[in-house]
Amino acid sequence: MIKVAFFDTKEYDRASFEQYNEDVGVSFKFLETKLTEDTADLAKGYDAVCVFVNDTVNAAVIDKLYGFGIKMIALRCAGYNNVDVKHAFGKIHIVHVPAYSPYAVAEHAMAMLLASVRRIHKAYNRTREFNFSLSGLTGFDFHGKTVGVIGAGKIGRIFIDICRGFGMHILVYDRYPADKDNEYVELDELFARSDIISIHCPLTDETRHMIDRNAITKMKKGVVIVNTSRGGLIDAEALLEGIKSRKIGAACLDVYEEEADVFFEDRSGHIMDDELLSRLISMPNVIVTSHQAFLTEEALNNIAETTVTNIKSCFENNGICNNELCYRCGNIEQCKKERKEKCF
């Protein structure tokens, strides 16, 4: 039996993973606490740990887990910016879930965009108070507008298909263009021409704060920005300044750079310490959801199934792990796919 310490457990995690508990040779210990250097001791006696986006998997945590004999870290998400993959190389295998449901995230991005542009969230609140005035609810047609999509991976391409269904003109920026069906442009051109910008790329050292003060100055007045990827892709202070100056017409944020101690928790009875987030939420043209774009039944089931398969592959295939993040050649996600052998 492979014993796994499961950190940062939520009710929906337990529901999707319990169906696999022990029946397939994997036993989960569900822990509500996040993984940090202080809580890593809870992993003693286990073979692996399972973590999510706001768990801390830095060098200190990795060294602790390695000292406890942990063989692998299974991320139940696609992103891995919270993991020191380079430091883990040669010590602990790191696996992730590269594609749980790209439809879930792309559809949520469009749902936020529709709600924002057509003021649906405002209309909902009004009518609950029997206020049926239409004043201040004017939106704009999507048809004929230009949407700039940053990142043409699986999620980005599905979002592009959705936008195409609305009759929108599509610009795409991606460092590695993968098709000829879309108009690929440089980032500055995308900023300058887009009425709407939606971000669908990973957070890396190169992409951190790709939307900053300088980028915002290049954008159209009234641009709508959507981010369902990682909070660190946007400089939140610059975003707030752009909103206050009326340069940015609206923002739809499912992620936030400093979300780790806020999102996924009920903070309704607490004073919000993060003044920047409080100010963003208070803006009438900002919609914030708490990293819920992935949250569909299909995605949760796919995450659980893939995570369990990843774990079993590492222990049953002599270290050749499904969906491993390997630092051997620096090309983290592609390395093992090209070599088709274990990373170490």
Q: Is the pLDDT of residue 227 over 90?
A: yes
Q: pLDDT (tens digit, 9 = 90+) per residue, 25-37?
A: 899 999 999 999 9
Is 300 within 8 Å of 11 (Cβ atoms)? no
pLDDT at position 180: 79
pLDDT band at 146 (very low <50, low <70, confident <90, very high): very high
Q: pLDDT (tens digit, 9 = 90+) per residue, 246-292?
A: 999 999 999 999 998 899 888 898 888 899 999 999 999 999 999 99
Q: pLDDT (tens digit, 9 = 90+) per residue, 260-273?
A: 889 988 889 888 88
Burial 267-287 (b: 16+ CB within 10 A, else e): eeeeeeebeebebbeebebbb
Query: Is CATH 3.40.50.720 what the domain over 2-100+297-339 is classified as, yes or no?
Result: yes
CATH no. for 102-288: 3.40.50.720
Q: CB within 8 A of 82, min separation 6: which ones?
A: 51, 53, 54, 55, 56, 57
**Of the candidates 243, 232, 145, the residue with the CA atom closest to the CA atom of residue 197:** 145
Q: Is the pLDDT of residue 338 over 60?
A: no
Q: What φ, ψ does residue 225 adopt, rounded to 5°?
A: -110, 130
The residue written with tokens 């929108």 in the block is 168
**Catalytic (active-site) positions:** 230, 259, 291
pLDDT at position 250: 98
pLDDT at position 334: 58
pLDDT at position 318: 76
pLDDT band at 333 (very low <50, low <70, confident <90, very high): low
pLDDT at position 335: 58
Q: What is the pTM of this model?
A: 0.88
Provide the 3-class DSSP secondary structure of residue 52: coil
What is the layout of strands, in order, in the sheet containing 248-253? 183-184, 169-173, 146-150, 196-199, 223-227, 248-253, 286-288
**CA angle in degrees (0–180, nearest 5) for 238-102-319:** 105
Q: One fold for both 2-100+297-339 and 102-288? A: yes
> Hey, where are the domains in the chain?
2-100+297-339, 102-288
pLDDT at position 39: 98
* Cα separation, 186 vs 189, whole angstroms: 5
- Which has the minimum average pLDDT: 12-16, 44-48, 168-172, 235-239? 12-16
Burial class of 165 by CB neighbour count within 10 A (0 to 12, 13 to 18, 19+) = exposed
Average pLDDT, the chain: 93
Q: pLDDT (tens digit, 9 = 90+) per residue, 166-195?
A: 999 999 999 988 777 899 999 999 999 999
**Side-chain-side CA neighbours of residue 106 (13 Å):** 21
pLDDT band at 319 (very low <50, low <70, confident <90, very high): confident
**CA angle in degrees (0–180, nearest 5) for 10-31-265:** 40
Over residues 211-227, mean pLDDT: 98
Phi-psi region of 318 (alpha: psi -120 to 50; beta: other; left: phi over 0): left
